[in-house]
Each structure stands twice: as structure tokens, then as C-alpha cells.
Amino acid sequence: MKKFFLGCAVLCVLFTSCNYESKAYKALKMQNDSIMAVQERQSAELDEYLSIIQDVDSGFEAIRQSQNYMAVTSNTEGDPTSEMRTRVADNMYMINSILADNKAKIEELEKKLDNGNIKSTQLKKTVERLSATLEQKNAEITALQKELEQKDYKIDSLLLENEMIHSQANDLAAENDAQQKTLQEQDAQIHRVYYLMANRKTIKSNNIDVKNMRSSLRTSLFTTADMRQLDRLDTNSKSARILTKHPATSYELIKGSDKKYSLIIKNPTDFWSASKYLLIQID
């Protein structure tokens, strides 16, 4: 708050000063800019703290809801059904995941407070509350798990089975992602083309052989593109000649009002059928 009033005072001096080029003005402006920068950093830091705290509290609320369900389930008469076992295992798996996540976030928050610019007693008390809640929830879940074990829920084996299911699902998702990535790479490779617009001197000095583009190709000279997205090339030259072979009906070289040529690819599939390389000589 003191910094805020100091900033306001500085602004007042700035606006009432007549000599905007004076050393005093510049010094005050620099001081004000520094104050504003500190306030912005502290505001961003506080927003980050509050976001983490909100995430942790949301996690605890989700745990409380699961606890309520399992407390009701544990008081149900008779042997647990297969569906009840599955739901209890799912809830317990979720609770353990949230507890681990909250523990990591609380530790992160403690480090940020120790090393940050904001020194707030209220924030420290909030972190202490979260740590105490975490410890309490761990104790409650341990007690609840023992209670369910006594009712033949076999939590350990259910959790192991649930973890295996999640692991298999993650493995399958990773495999699908890898396959999708491979397909995307193959698709990109199939439709990848290369083009170069250069003058005669550049072509000759780099020993580019039009008849054997692959062996003479210097990748760094060429631009890569997706043939499906390339339908026009502006040469920015009043002289343009295509040196590589492409079906004449698949493209057109047109001269603009500025007398500079542009290549219009009318049929990409036909145009690139003979060669995936395009060399245009411009002079």
C-alpha cells in the first residue's frame, strides 16, 4: 500500500513538472517505472499462488465427495457386489492420485513462498492449513481403507487391478499416438516437395544438375513445402524459366501488371508427378 501511494505521489510530481527533460523528472520517472514493475511482478506472483491454492482446495473437495460415497458403501449390509468393488477401487485410485498431486502442489507453493517477493503471513497460514488438511486426509483414507478391507473389499488387490487397467489404457493411448504420429510423418513425406528460385550464377556455383536433382540436391538451398498447400509462387522477377520437367498442362507462368512472373500450379498431383523438385531460373 505504501508503494502504491508512493507511485501516486511520483505521478503527481511528474504531471506537475514543467521541465520534462530535467534530471529530476527523469529520476522520478525511472523510480515510478521501477515501482510499477515491482507491483506487476507481485500481482502475477499472487495470481499464481491463488491458482495453486484453488487447485488444491478443489482436489480436497473431490476427495470429500468420494469419501462420502465410500462411507455409505462401507455401511451397506451384506457382501459387496462386483459393481460396488469396482466403484470403490475407482474412487480409491482417484483419491490416491489427488493426494499425491496435492502434496506436490503444496511443496511447490512452500518453495515459491520461501523464494518469492511476497511475504504474507496470511498466505503462510493458508499453506499450513493445506498441509494439515493433507495430513488429515491421508489418515482418514488409511482408516477408511482398513474399514473396507474388513468388509472383504480387498482394496490392495482392487487398486493393483485398477492400476493395471489404467496402465494398459495409457500404453494403448501411447501406442495410438505413436501410430498417429507415424501416419502423419508418412503423409508429410508423401506430399513433401522442394523448390528453388535462383539466378543462373547461383545454380552454376552450387553445381545443381537439373537432370539429376537428387544427387546434386543441397537441402539448405531449397525450400520445403506441402504440395497440397502450394498453388502459387511469385518469382518477383521479370524473367522466369522452369528448368525441371513438369506436365505443361498442370501449370502456367503468368506475367503481372508489374511485368513480374508468377507460377500458378493448376493441378498439383500432375505437376509433381514427374519430380518432387522444382527449379526456377530467375535473372
Q: Which residue has the cell 522466369?
A: 240
Q: Is residue 183 part of a domain?
A: no
Q: Are residues 135 and 100 in the same domain?
A: yes
Determine the Cα–Cα distance for residues 120 and 108; give it in Å rounded to an integer. Answer: 16
Contact 256, 219 (CB under 8 A): no
Direct distance between the N- and C-terminal alpha carbons of the chain, in angstroms, rounded to an integer: 67
Residues 175-201 have pLDDT tens digits of 888 888 888 999 889 999 999 999 999
DSSP 252: E
Residues 203-252 have pLDDT tens digits of 888 888 777 766 556 667 889 999 999 999 999 999 999 999 999 999 99
pLDDT at 121: 84
Contacts of 20 by beta carbon, 8 Å cutoff, 6+ apart: none
Q: Is residue 180 part of a domain?
A: no
For the chain, how many structural domains are there in total?
Answer: 2
Q: Are residues 165 and 247 in the same domain?
A: no
Determine the Cα–Cα distance for residues 117 and 48; give it in Å rounded to an integer. Answer: 13
Contact 92, 159 (CB under 8 A): yes
- Structural domain harbouring 10: 2-173
Q: Is the pLDDT of residue 24 over 90?
A: no
Cα 231 to Cα 86, 241, 263, distances in angstroms: 56, 17, 8
Cell numbers standing for residue 264: 500458378
Residues 104-150 have pLDDT tens digits of 999 998 888 888 777 778 888 998 999 999 999 989 888 887 777 77
Contact 232, 263 (CB under 8 A): yes
pLDDT at 96: 87
Q: Are residues 109 and 236 in the same domain?
A: no
Q: Are residues 136 and 226 in the same domain?
A: no
Percent of the chain residues past pLDDT 90, beyond the cut: 31
With 0-12 CB in 10 A as exposed, 13-18 as middle and 19+ as buried, what is 44? exposed
**Angle, CA of 55, 73 and 142, to the nearest 5°:** 55
